[in-house]
Amino acid sequence: MSSSAAPPNEAEHAGVRRRLLFLAPLAVVFGIGAAFAVGLTLDPRQIPSELIGRPAPAFELLPVQGRSLGLSSSDLVGEVSLVNVFASWCTACRAEHPLFMELARTRQVPIHGLNYKDKPNDAAAWLDELGDPYTRTGADLNGRVGIDWGVYGVPETFVVGADGRIAYKHIGPVTPEALRQKILPIVENLRQRPVGAGS
């Protein structure tokens, strides 16, 4: 006796396959939704940097147009300093700039500027207009150095020890509170350590 019905095992497997094909897209959507929900709870300023405690990546950049001193990794050895990643097209950079001008005026800590993916004329005009707080500047025209430093966006500011190692990374515009409560205490702590004592 012949029958057109599939054997029980084959019919069961076909049903399982249909359910999996239906559930797979739902699982993907659920996974993306869960990842998005978790991401919303994270503070982007708290993204850890793999470079903390490591020497600054090797680089050598020409100065921003109209400035005489370029910036290289060798310039970051010998004294504690800040490296500020900025651009003329960055609105938040304009907000933090007066703080850096005040730091430069009071000479609390040297500040070096890493100009990220900017047009030479725009960067020069921006510093001419707002003032130039930087001891040295480096024109990172294609963003390669910023990538090596793990830059997520602009502005970002790094504290670099006298040994050339990155001690701290601040994401976003530096506020008076961040400067007073976090950045300057790290600078002072690093100044009290012998070079090579570690981070």
Residue 171 β-bridge partners: 156
pLDDT, residue 199, reads: 45
Residue 93's nearest CA partner among 56, 41, 134, 141 is 134
β-sheet with 136-140: strand ranges across: 136-140, 111-116, 81-86, 156-160, 166-171
Sequence spans of domains, the chain: 8-42, 47-191
d(CA 50, CA 69) in angstroms, rounded, equals: 28
Residue type, 101: M
pLDDT, residue 193, reads: 81
Of the options 3.50.50.60, 1.10.4080.10, 3.40.30.10, 3.10.150.10, the CATH number for the domain spanning 47-191: 3.40.30.10
pLDDT, residue 45, reads: 45
d(CA 87, CA 144) in angstroms, rounded, equals: 15
> Would the pTM of this model clear 0.85, i.e. be above it?
no
Q: Confirm if 117 and 87 have CB atoms less than 8 A apart.
A: yes
Please list the pLDDT of the chain residue by residue as tens digits (199 residues). 444 555 556 766 666 666 666 655 655 555 454 444 434 434 444 445 688 999 999 999 999 999 999 999 999 999 999 999 999 999 999 999 999 999 999 999 999 999 999 999 999 999 999 999 999 999 999 999 999 999 999 999 999 999 999 999 999 999 999 999 999 999 999 999 876 555 4
pLDDT, residue 35, reads: 41
